[in-house]
Amino acid sequence: MLMEIKKFSVPELLLRLNKTYQSFAEQQNMRYLTRYNSPEVVWLQGDRAAIEQILSQVIERAFEVCDKENIELVVEYIDPELIVAIYYPGIEIESVKFKAEILLNDSAYPPEDLVQKWQMRDIEMSDLVELVLVSIAEKKTWMDAAVANHDVVELKELVHAAKGVTGNYHMEEFYDLFSKLDEYLVKNPKIDETVQHMVASLSEIINKIPLKYFKNNEV
Amino acid sequence: MVLIVDDEVFALDLIKRKLAGSGFEFITCNTVALAKELIKENTNIKIVVTDLHMAGEDGFNLLMWLASEYPKIKKVVMSAHTHEDILTPNNEIIHVDAQLKKPVDIKNELIPMLINLLKEV
């Protein structure tokens, strides 16, 4: 059977595997982690479905022999190969190699939504990005209350904390806005129209995010 | 051992994930009060990495306490702004061994810095 040759993004594939196996691991009271030591976008030539199946089998074999602690998928690009190894706990159990080429061009693989874009910036933290998002939406409601109460002290603390966490998780759209607001509040420590407008504009970012990311988390 | 102090839970989660497998022995906590207890209990803590601005007792308080009680422990500050001198709210200068500007790149900034500091200890 001829293998269909197509290019696809490795980070997107790893994200999909993360979603599947993180929840599977939780059910087993274990953790599934990914360590991605590669450029932001690595493309593989090959049958994506077949490669996903190979990696799934490697991961599932690890779950069969390991019953506690962490299973870690470590992905590294060493030109011209992508090397994927499974570790438990800290010991390499199995590895596979694929021929791969670097394609450092984000526009070549547009993410589905903002959240996926942030997750692909750091695959290792993809599950936490969703939790951070929910916490930011929660902070937004507290910021609205601080604005309504003209509580600039509370607002400054919330903005500073949000700036820190969104910077850590590469959530640029939020980070840029919180940075500007943080800087503005340092120079103008009062709730004025500019502050009100900037806090309100957070909703524009939140509204771009599909509801599914908030569905399982009360906001 | 390295102690990481930050009141932001997600910041600690990030650091824990990135440091896991790095070879460093480390512990984390989210308050200065707990950090002080851990330092008193663990004589093998050699480096403290702390956020500056935290609710309650803040990083300035921790740094001053370390300078007074545990001067041999290396002090690293994570902050949104780097400062030529770390000044407490009372304008006292605190010497620190390194400063990292947030957001910190754990793999390319924090880990190499910790490796260098541990050589000095």
Question: A124 to chain B: which residues are within 8 Å by CB?
Answer: 17-18
Residue B89 has pLDDT above 80, yes or no: no
Q: Do B14 and A182 touch (CB under 8 A)?
A: no
Query: Directed axis angle between helix A114-121 and helix A10-27, to 10°?
Result: 90
Q: What is the mean pLDDT of residues A97-105?
A: 75
Query: Mind giving me the DSSP string for chain A?
Result: -PPP-EEEEHHHHHHHHHHHHHHHHHHTT-EEEEEEES-S-EEEEE-HHHHHHHHHHHHHHHHHH--SSEEEEEEEEETTEEEEEEESSSSEEEEEEEEEEE---GGGS--SSHHHHHHHH-GGGHHHHHHHHHHHHHHHHHHHHHHHTT-HHHHHHHHHHHHHHHHHTT-HHHHHHHHHHHHHHHHS-S--HHHHHHHHHHHHHHTTS-THHHHTS--
Q: What is the mean pLDDT of residues A14-29?
A: 89
Q: What's the pLDDT tens digit per position in B16-26?
A: 988 887 888 99
From B13, B18, B102, residue closest to A164, measured CB to CB: B102
Residue B81 has pLDDT above 50, yes or no: yes
- pLDDT band, very low/low/confident/very high, at A104 (cuts 50, 70, 90): low
Question: A128 to chain B: which residues are within 8 Å by CB?
Answer: 10, 13-14, 17
- At A93 the pLDDT is 86
Q: What's the pLDDT tens digit per position in A27-58?
A: 888 889 898 877 666 777 777 888 899 999 99
Judge whether A45 is closer than 8 Å to chain B, CB to CB.
no
* DSSP state, residue B110: I
- pLDDT band, very low/low/confident/very high, at B6 (cuts 50, 70, 90): very high
Separation of first and last alpha carbons in chain A = 50
- pLDDT band, very low/low/confident/very high, at A108 (cuts 50, 70, 90): low
The percentage of residues in chain B with a pLDDT greater than 90, rounded to a whole number, is 54
Cα B61 from chain centre: 12
Instruction: State the pTM of this model.
Output: 0.80
Burial profile A160-177: b = 16 or more Cβ within 10 angstroms, e = fewer:
bbbbbbbbbbbbebbbeb
Nearest CA in chain A to B19: A35
* Alpha-carbon span A133 to A209, nearest angstrom: 9
From A90, A157, A165, residue closest to B11, measured CB to CB: A165
User: Whose structure tokens read 């709210």?
Assistant: B89
C-alpha distances out from residue B46 to A110, A166, B40, B78, Å: 45, 30, 12, 17
Nearest CA in chain A to B7: A161
Q: How many CB atoms lie within 10 A of CB A36?
A: 21
Query: Is pLDDT larger for residue A43 or for residue B5?
Result: B5
Reported in sequence order, the residue ranges of chain B that DSSP labels E, i.e. its strands, are 2-5, 26-29, 47-51, 74-79, 86-87, 93-94, 98-101
* Alpha-carbon span B27 to B38, nearest angstrom: 9
Q: Which residues of B have a CB under 8 Å from any CB of A?
A: 8, 10-11, 13-14, 17-18, 20-21, 53, 55, 80, 102-104
Nearest CA in chain B to A170: B103
Lowest mean pLDDT of A163-167, A204-208, A211-215, B38-42, name the range.
Answer: A211-215
How close is the nearest chain B Cα to the Cα of A168, in Å? Answer: 5
| Backbone torsions φ then ψ of A168, nearest 5 degrees | -60, -35
The ipTM estimated for the assembled molecules is 0.84
From B11, B20, B21, residue closest to A164, measured CB to CB: B11
Question: A33 to chain B: which residues are within 8 Å by CB?
Answer: 17, 20
Query: Is pLDDT larger for residue A144 or for residue A124?
Result: A144
Q: Do B10 and A135 touch (CB under 8 A)?
A: yes
**C-alpha closest to that of A135 among A218, A207, A195:** A218
Residue A207's contacts (CB-CB under 8 Å, 6 or more residues apart) are none
Query: Mind giving me the DSSP string for B1-16?
Result: -EEEE-S-HHHHHHHH
From A35, A132, A167, residue closest to B21, measured CB to CB: A35
Question: Contact A103/A97 with Cβ under 8 angstroms?
Answer: no
Question: B18 to chain A: which residues are within 8 Å by CB?
Answer: 124
CA B105, B37, B90 angle in degrees (round to 5)? Answer: 70
Residue A4 has pLDDT above 90, yes or no: no
C-alpha distances out from residue A25 to A29, A168, B96, Å: 6, 25, 41
* Alpha-carbon span A213 to A113, nearest angstrom: 11
Dmax (CA) for chain A in angstroms is 69
Q: Within a 13 Å sphere around the CA of B4, how many CA atoms are in the beta-carbon half? A: 25
- At A1 the pLDDT is 44
User: Whose structure tokens read 């991961």?
Assistant: A59
